[in-house]
Structure 1
Amino acid sequence: MLISPPFLVGTDEASILQAGLKNVPARESTTQAPEGNFPVSQNLMWHTGLHLEAPTKTGGGYAPVRAIADGKVIFVNPSRAKVTDAKDPQAYNPFGSEASWTDNGMIVLEHETEIGADGDTPTKIKFYSSYLHLSKINDAIAKDAQVYRKDTIGETGEIFGHAGEIEMAVACNTEELTKLIGRQPEWQDPKQAPTKDGRTDSIFGNLYIYLPASTPISTTAPTSHLSSANTSSLGTAQWIEINYAKGEGTLTSYATDGSKGNATNEASSEYDLYTEANTRHDSVIAAGATISSPSGWYELLRFGRNLGQSAADKDPLPPNAAHWRKIKTIDGQDVWADLNAPGSFKFSDADFLPVMDWNCYGDDSKPDDQRCDSGKLKDLIADPNDPFTKGDKILAMRIGLPNVLPKLARAICKFPNEWDKNTIVARYQYLKDEAEAAADGALEGWQAFEDHLKIMAFDTLPDAFKQADWHFHPAEFIRTLRKCGWLSRGELVQLLPANSLRKANVWAWEDVSLNSAATLLSKTSTDASLRRIDLNKALRKFNATTPIRLACFFGNATQETQWYQKFHEGSPYWYKPWDGRGFLQLTHAGNYIKYWKFRGLAVSAQVVQTLQQHTTLANNNRPLVNGHKTMYDPTNSLSDASTGISSEIITRRDNVKNSFDAANSAGAYWAWSGASKQADGFFDDPSNNIKVVNTDHGTKHYYENKAFGNVAATVNTGAPSSSFSSIWGVQARFMAFANAQVVLLDTTSFPQSDGSTKEIPEDFIYRRDI
C-alpha cells in the first residue's frame, strides 16, 4: 500500500513527516497534551482523531488537504458559510469562555488495499480516513467519486477560531483490524515472551527478534556459521531490532518490557547482504554442509528467518544455521549473538508488537458514552510506581508527558464514532448527570453545548464508517504503514506510463496500452494475480521497497518487459537462446548460472565450461559491418543443438520467464549489481533535467536523472555510467521513472519548458483506470 500525510511539504522523509503530521500544540501549558489529542483528550474523553496543523505556503495561506491513500468518497458534508452571530451554537467553545468558530466540512474516504499475501492469496484490508473541520471541499469530491493518494480534496478550516487546522481520523472494523495487525484485537501483556514467529503474509519495516537467556554469544567474531554448543549464553532475555536504511544496518537491544537499550551500527551491511550471504554459504559448504544456498542465507540476514515463496520454492538453509550478529546488549556488553538460536522468535513492524507499545484497548466498561472507562488504557497512562495516579483528573494531567504520548500513539482503541448525530447527545449525557449532582449553576451552558454537539455531528454517516469502531492514531498509522511497500493492482496500474518514446526513423511518441499489460495487470486473471504477488515478494526480499528504489526498479522493468507484454525477450541476437527473461530480462548464460547458484541449484562444471566456450564463439562469429560487430551470429553457436546441454537445463532456463523466477531473478540481479546503492544516490541529487525531443506528434519532453541513469546502466550494462546513450531504450526508461516518481514519491519537482516548476512532468498524463 502507498500512504502519505494529508499535507505534503518538504523534500526528505523527515521533513515531509514533520510538516505533514504536526499536532496542534497545547495552548494553555507546555505540559498538557497536544490540542485534539488521540485517543483521549485532556478531560479523559475519547477523541476519535488528531488535530493537525497545516504548513503555510509561500506567499500566504495553508497547504491544501490531500487524500492519504487511494480510495472512494463515501461521505461529504460541505462546510457552512461563517456567521457573525455570537449566539450561534456553532460558536460555542466548551473548553473556554470565548466564543470561537469551528468549521464542519467533512470528507470520509474508504480505502481498500493490500499489505502482503498468504500463499497465492493477497492480504487485503479496508479502512477509513476522515477529514473534519474543512472550510472548503473541492468540487470533484462527491459521493462515490474515486480519489487517489495526494489528490487535493479540500482546504483547512478553523477549530475554535484557530485557522489552518483539521481533525483527521483513521478507523476500521474488527474483521479488518484482525487482518491488518495479524492477530485477534485483544490486549496482550507486552512482557509476555513469544512462543512462535510472527506473521509471514505481511512483513515490512524493522525486524524484531526475541532472544532467550540461553542464546549463544561470543566475545569475538565466530568463524563458523553453524550452531555450536561450545559457547557461553546471553544470560538475560531481550529483543533485538534490526533496521536497514540507505545501506546501513542498525541493531538495537530492548529489554523484555520494551525499554530501549543500546545500538550497534553496521556500515554498508544492507548493501553487502548479497556478498555476505555468499560468504556464509561458502563457509558452511567448506565445513561440510550439504544443504545450503546463498539465497537462504540472504533471507536469514534480511528477515531473521528463511521464508521462501512457498514450500516448493523455499531456498535451502542448513537446519543448524547460526545467524551471528554483533550487538550491544541491554547492559552494554559488545557481543556476537546467534539471532537464530533455539527459542528465538522473529517479527516485523507488520506484527504491531505489544512490546513495541502496539496494543488493543477494547475494555471500555461503558462503551456507549464518550468517557474513557478503559482500565487498560488508564493503566497505560498511570505512573506504574505511584498507586495514587488512578483518579481521572490526575490521569488527565499525565497525558502530555513525553513518556506517555508515544505509548498513546500506538494504542488501538475501540469506542463509538464521535460524529454520529443519532447518538452524540446521549454519549455526552454523563456530563449533564455529573453537573446536576454538583453545585447550583453547574448546568449553565448545557443547552448551548448540546446545540453545538448537534450542529457538529451528522445524521447521514454511512453505517460502515460508524461500525468501524477501532481507531488508530492517524499520524502513527501513516508513519508505520509507509514502510509496507507492497503494491496493489491499482497502484501497479498507475506505474504504467501513459506514453513512451521510441527511436525510429524519427522519434515516435506512442501510447502505452493497459490492455497489452494484461499479463501483470489483469483484474481477472489468476496468472496476473500470481505475478503481482511474486513480484511484491521479490521486491520485499531484496529490500527494493522504499519509494525511490521502487521508482528506479519500475523505471527499468516497464521498459525491459515492453510494458509487461513480454517476460521473454525472444531476441534474434547472437546470445539467443540465453536472451532476456523476467522483469529485468536476465540475459547471457553467465547470469542465468549465477542466479541458479544463488538459489542453490546445481550446475555442473561441464555445463558452465560448455556455455562459456560457446558464448565466446558466438560473440566472435558476429560479422563486422563498417568496422562494427553486428548483433547476429550466423552460425548460431549458442543454440541448444550446438551446446548439447541437457533438457533439464533448457527447462530451467525457459522457466525464468514464469512467475516466480521472473520476479526472483530480477531481485537477485538487483542485489548483486548493487542497484539499491545507485538508487539511493537520488537523495544526494534528485534533480530532473528536462530534455526536448521532436517527434511524430510534435515537440515532447522527457527528464534525465543522474541516480536513475546509474541504475539503468547497472541493469542494462552491468555497471553505473553517466553515458546514458549506451543504455538501450534509455528515453523510455527515463519517462517510466518520471511517471514512477509522481506515483511513488510524496513531493516531486519537474522543470517546465517555460522555466516554471511543477509537481508533474511536462506532457504527463495520469493513468487512473483501475
Structure 2
Amino acid sequence: MILSPPFLPARTSQSEAAWLDAAMAQPTSRLSNTNAAEGSFPLSLRLGWHNGIHIQAPQAAGAYLPVRAVADGTVVFVHPPTAPNNDVNHALNYNPFNAGTPSPAWTSDGFVVIAHKGEIGAAGAVATEFVYFSACMHLGSLANHARTRQPLKAGDVVFRKEALGTPGQIYGHDGQVHFEVCCDEANLEKLTTRKRDWADPLAPQPPTANGRTDAVFGSLYIYLPAGTPTRASQPTSHLRSAVHAGGAASAATDFFLPDTLRAAQWVQITYEHGSAILASCDRLGAPIGQPRNDSRYDYITVATMRPGASQSFEYDLSAVANDRHGSLDAATQALSSPSGWYELLRFGRNLGPDALPANAAHWRKVVTPDGGLWVDLNAPGTFKFSDADFLAITGWNCFDDDPTPTDQRCDSLRMKTLIRDPDRTNEGRMERAQLARRLGEPEVRNKLRRTICKFPSEWDQKDVEKRYGWLETEDFKSTDDDATGAQKWERFVKHAKAVTFLELPEAFLKADWRFHPREFVGHMRKCGWLSCSEIEQIYKSHDLRNNNPARFDAIRKYQISLNLMTRKYLLNTSKRLPHILGQGAEESSFLTAMQEDSMTGSAVNGEVHGKVGGKDPQSLRNELDFGHWWGFSPNERVDWYGSKKFNSKGLLIASSYNWRMGNLGDPDAQKFRGRGFKQLTGRLNYVQYWVYRGWLTRSSFDNHWWTDPQYVARNVRGMTKTPGVVDNPEVVGTSIYNCMDAGGWYMTFQRPDVLRAMDGDMDYLAASISELAQETTASKAVTLAINGGEIAWDRRLKNTRAAKEIILDQ
C-alpha cells in the first residue's frame, strides 16, 4: 500500500520522520487541564476519548496547504461546511475555553470520510487486504472532484494526493483540521493479526512461534531466549553445533551452558540506505547499550578496507550469503543455496522456496548485557517478526476494557495504568485530575502513539447528551451554580449536535478501533507492497490509459511476484522502487514480454524458420509456456545452430550475443536469450543464477549439459545439474516467480552498485537544475548496471519519473 499524510509540504533533505512531523504537526496551543496539545489522541479534554488528532496545516507562500487524500479510496460521506459568521449564539461559534461568556470562536463543519482498501502482502496467490477509514473534519471548504470537476460526493473514487478541501477553523484557530484513522475488529485482525488482545507491558509473555509471513516490512525483531548460543569471536562454522543447540538454560536454576545468553532479549535489525543497524532491548523493551552498525569487515575477510564500509553492510548481504553457502562441504551444499542464506540474513528466516540447511546458524554481532557478542539468531527457541506484526515489545497494544463503552469518557483501567505517575508513593496517581495532567508529559505522549483503542465515534449525533452526560456534572456544574452550569451544558449540547451527524454510514460507525494517525501513517509507509491498482497508475501513461487488456492482464499475473522480489531484495524503498519499475517497464515491455522474441524470418525450403514449436514468437508473448529449445521439432532447421551465424533475432550478423556472456555460439544465443523482468541474458548469467537458487552445485559435473571443456574449466568447474530445471533455461521466463526473482538477483548479486546508484537519487521529485542533474546521474548509473550501456535511457528515465509521480509525495 502507498500512504501519505493529509498535508504534503515540500521536502528536500529532511528525514522521513522529520518530514512527517512537519506534515502532521499538532497545534502549539495546550489544554489548561492537561497541558497536552489541543486535540490529542486518544485522550483529550477532561480525559475524554478523542478519535484522532488536530493538525496545524503547513503553509506555502503565505497560504495553508490543501487537505489531500492519504490513500486511494471511495468517499462514503461528505458534509459541506457552513459559512462562518460572528453570531455568538450560533452553535458553531462555541468557545470551550470561555464557556461562561459566549464569544465568537468559529469551528468549521466540513467533513469527508473515505473508505480505503489496503494491500500489505499475500499468502500464496491470495492478497492480504484490509479495509480502513480516514476522516477529515473541520474543513473550511471542499474541493471539486479531480476528474469530474463536480463537488465531492459519496461514491466518488479518489486517488492518493488528490485535494479534498482546505483546512478550516477549530474554536477560532485558523488553518486546523481533525484527522483520524479507524477500522472494525475484523480488519484490525487482518492488519495486525492480533485478536484485540492486550499485553501486560510489565509481564510480557515470551513468543512461542514466528510472526506472519504474508506481510513482512520495516524492521526485523528476533526474540532470543536465555541459553541462546554466543561466541566472543566470529565463528568459523555456519552450521549449528549440537553442543550449543540453545534453549537449554534455566534462569530458575541459574544453570547456563558456557557461551550462552543468561537472560532473554530482543534484537532489532533495520536495513536502510545501505546500512544494517542492530539494536538490542530486554524482555520489557528497555534498551541494552547503544545500537551498532554492521560492517562488512565483521563478516567478510578482505585485504583492503573500503571507505564507508561500516555503514554499508546491506550492500554486502549478497557477498555474505555466497560466503556462508560456499563455506559448506560438498554434501551440505547440495542441501543449501545462496538464496536460502540471503533470506536468512535478510529476514532472519528463510521465507522463500530455496534450500537452506536445517541446522543453519545465523551468527550476527549483537549488543548484549555482557557487551558485544556473536549470537546465533537462528538457534532453537528464537522467533522472528517484523513491523507487520505490531509487536507489544515495540509499544503496540489494544485497549478495549472501558466498562462504559457507549460514552466518550475514558474509564479504561489499562489506559489509566499506562499514563499514571510511576511514583508509587503518589496516592492520588489514579485520580482523573492527575491522570489528565499526565497527558502533557513527553513520555506519556510517546506511549500513547502506539495505542489502538476501541470507543464510539464522536461524530455520531445519536445520544449526544447520553455520551457526554458525564461532562454535565463533572465539568459544567462542578464549580458553578445549577443555573450557570445548565446554560453552559446547553451551549455545549447545541454545539455538539452542530458538529455531529445522523446519517453517517453504518460501516464507518462500526469501525470503532482507532489508531494514532501520525503513527499509523508513518508505520504503514514502511510496507512498500503495491496493489494491482497502484501498479496500473504507475504505468498509466502508456497503453493502460487505452485499456489495453494485455497490460492489465500482465499486471494481475505478475503483481504478487513483483512485490515478493522487491521485498526480498530491499528494492521497495522510496528511492529504489521507482527505478525498479521504470527500468523493468523498458526491459519487459511493461510486464508483457518476459522472453525476448526467439527469431524472425519466414519458411525456407518448406521448413519453419523463426518459429518455436511451429508458433510465431509474437504469439507466445502472453502464453505461460514459451515452447522448447530450438531444433527439437523435426520441422525446425537444425542448421540454425550450425555454421550459419545468426543473432537471437534471426538476422545474419557479425556482432551478436553468440559469443558473449559465456555463450558458446549460435545455440546459446537462442537458448540463453533475455528472459524475465530484467531480461536475464547469456549462459554465464543463467549458470550463476541456477547456482544461486541451488539448482547447480560444485560437487560434480554432468557432461550431458555442459559440453565445452574450456568453458567448464573457466566458469563452472565441478557443477552438477538439477534434472528438469537446468535442462530448460526457459524456466526463467515461464515461471512467474522466477521471472521476477531473477531480476532482483541480478541487480543485487551481479550488480550490487546498482543499489548505491539508486540510493544516490532523491526520494522527492527533482525540481532544480542540480536536482535534475543528480537524478540523471542516478538513472544513467542504474541503466548502465542493468543494461551494460545506455540503450533506451531516455525512455527508462521517463518511466522512472512516471513511477515517482505516483510513489513519491509531491
TM-score over 0.5 for the pair: yes
Quick one: which amino acid aligns to residue 583 of structure 2? N
Counterpart of 1:610 (choices 707, 718, 734) is 707
Contact in 1 for aligned 2:565/2:744 (Cα 8 Å):
yes
Q: CA deviation at 1:288?
A: 5.1
How far residue 656 of structure 1 moved from its aligned partner, in angstroms, is 3.4
Change beyond 3 A, Cα 1:280–1:412: same
Q: Does 1:323 align with 2:362?
A: yes
The secondary structure found in structure 2 opposite 1:110 is strand
Q: Which of the residues 61, 64, 80 maps onto 1:62?
A: 64
Q: Is the 8 A contact 2:23 2:57 kept in 1?
A: yes
Deviation at 1:519, TM superposition (A): 3.6
Matched, 1:681 2:760: yes
Deviation at 1:517, TM superposition (A): 1.2
> Of the candidates 511, 518, 523, which is equivalent to residue 468 of structure 1?
511
Alignment of 1:574-613 (within 5 A): 574=658, 575-602=669-696, 604=701, 606=703, 610=707
**TM-score w.r.t. structure 1 length?**
0.84
User: Quick check: 1:593–1:608 contact (8 Å CA) kept in 2?
Assistant: no
SS at match of 1:484: coil
Match of 2:776 among 696, 702, 705: 705
Q: What fraction of aligned residue pairs are identical, expressed as a percent?
A: 41
Q: Distance in 1 between matches of 2:561 and 2:137?
A: 39
Matches for 1:182-261 after TM superposition, within 5 Å:
182-190=193-201, 191-228=204-241, 229=243, 232-261=259-288
Q: Counterparts of 1:474 and 1:514 in 2: how far apart (Å)?
A: 38
Q: State the match for 1:3 in structure 2.
A: 3
Alignment partner, residue 736 of structure 2: 659
How well do the aligned residues superpose, as a CA RMSD in angstroms? 2.8
Preserved contact between residue 686 and residue 705 of structure 1 (Cα < 8 Å): no
Structure-2 change in CA distance of 1:516 and 1:611 (3 Å): farther
Question: What's the CA shift for 1:431?
Answer: 1.7
For 1:136, the aligned partner's letter is S
Matched residue, 1:549: 576
The aligned residue for residue 32 of structure 1 is 35
> 1:374 is aligned with what amino acid?
S
Cα distance in structure 2, aligned partners of 1:237 and 1:139 = 56
The corresponding residue for 2:73 is 71
Instruction: Provide the C-alpha distance between the structure 2 equivalents of 1:646 and 1:193, rounded to a whole number of angstroms.
Output: 44
- Consecutive unaligned residues of structure 2, counting only runs of 5 or more, are 146-151, 245-257, 295-310, 600-647, 649-657, 659-668, 714-720
Residue pair 2:732, 2:742 contacting (<8 A) in 1 also: no
- Tell me by how many angstroms 1:422 deviates: 1.5
Higher strand proportion:
1
Instruction: Trace 1:684-763 onto structure 2 (pairs within 5 A).
Output: 687=766, 705-717=776-788, 726-747=789-810
Residue 449 of structure 1 is matched in structure 2 by 492
Q: CA 1:345–1:648 in structure 2 vs 1: closer, same or farther (change >3 Å)?
A: closer
CA distance in 2, matches of 1:708, 1:593: 28
Indicate whether 1:281 and 2:353 are aligned: no
Q: Which residue of 2 aligns with 1:263?
A: 291
Residues in 2 aligned to 1:164 and 1:182: alpha-carbon distance in whole angstroms: 37
Are the structure 2 counterparts of residues 532 and 85 from structure 1 closer, same or farther at C-alpha, using a change threshold of 3 Å?
Answer: same
Could you tell me how far 1:233 is from its partner in structure 2? 0.8
From the CA coordinates, give the structure whose radius of gyration is larger.
Answer: 2
- Please say if residues 762 and 775 of structure 2, whose CA atoms lie closer than 8 Å, have aligned partners that are also in contact: no
How far apart, in 2, do the equivalents of 1:390 and 1:578 lie? Answer: 72
Give the whole-Å Cα distance in 2 for the aligned partners of 1:130 and 1:110. 9
The alignment partner of 1:95 has SS state of helix
CA contact (8 A) 2:111 2:135 kept: yes
Mapping of 1:521-532 within 5 angstroms?
Answer: 521-522=555-556, 528=557, 531-532=558-559
| Contact 1:586–1:665, Cα closer than 8 Å, also in 2 | yes
Q: Which residue of 1 aligns with 2:394?
A: 356
Shift of 1:497: 4.2
Matches within 5 A, 1:421-460: 421-434=461-474, 440-441=481-482, 442-460=485-503
Task: Write the mapping of 1:89-488 to structure 2, written as runs, cut at 5 A.
Answer: 89-97=91-99, 98-140=103-145, 141-190=152-201, 191-228=204-241, 229=243, 232-261=259-288, 262-266=290-294, 267-285=311-329, 290-308=334-352, 314-329=353-368, 331=369, 333-386=371-424, 388=427, 389-434=429-474, 440-441=481-482, 442-488=485-531
- How many Å separate the matches in 2 of 1:390 and 1:114? 41
Shift of the alpha carbon at 1:127?
A: 0.3
Quickly say closer, same or farther: Cα 1:611–1:569, change in 2 above 3 A: farther
Q: Which amino acid aligns with 1:139?
A: N
Aligned residues: 681
Partner letter of residue 7 of structure 1? F
SS of 1:407's partner is helix
Residue 658 of structure 1 and its aligned partner are, at CA, apart by 2.1
CA change 1:91–1:646 in 2 (3 A) is closer
2: CA distance, partners of 1:366 / 1:684: 46
Once structures 1 and 2 are overlaid, which stretch shifts more, 220-229 or 287-296? 287-296
CA 1:511–1:171 in 2, change beyond 3 Å: closer, same or farther?
A: closer
TM-score, normalised via structure 2 length: 0.80
CA contact (8 A) 2:27 2:54 kept: yes
Please give the alpha-carbon distance, in whole angstroms, between the structure 2 residues aligned to 1:515 and 1:688: 35
Checking the alignment, whether the CA contact within 8 Å between 1:656 and 1:665 is kept in structure 2 is no
Structure 2 CA distance for partners of 1:207 and 1:663, relative to 1, 3 Å: same
Give 1:146 shift: 0.9
Unaligned runs of 5+ in 1: 309-313, 501-509, 523-527, 617-643, 691-700, 718-725, 748-770
What code does the residue aligned with 1:294 have?
P
| C-alpha spacing 1:120/1:476, structure 2 compared with 1 (3 Å) | same
State the Cα distance separating 1:612 from its structure 2 match.
8.9
What is the CA distance between 1:335 and its match in structure 2? Answer: 0.9
- 3-state secondary structure, aligned to 1:445: helix
In structure 2, the CA distance between the partners of 1:196 and 1:492, relative to structure 1 (3 Å rule), is same
Distance 1:594 1:96, change over 3 A: farther
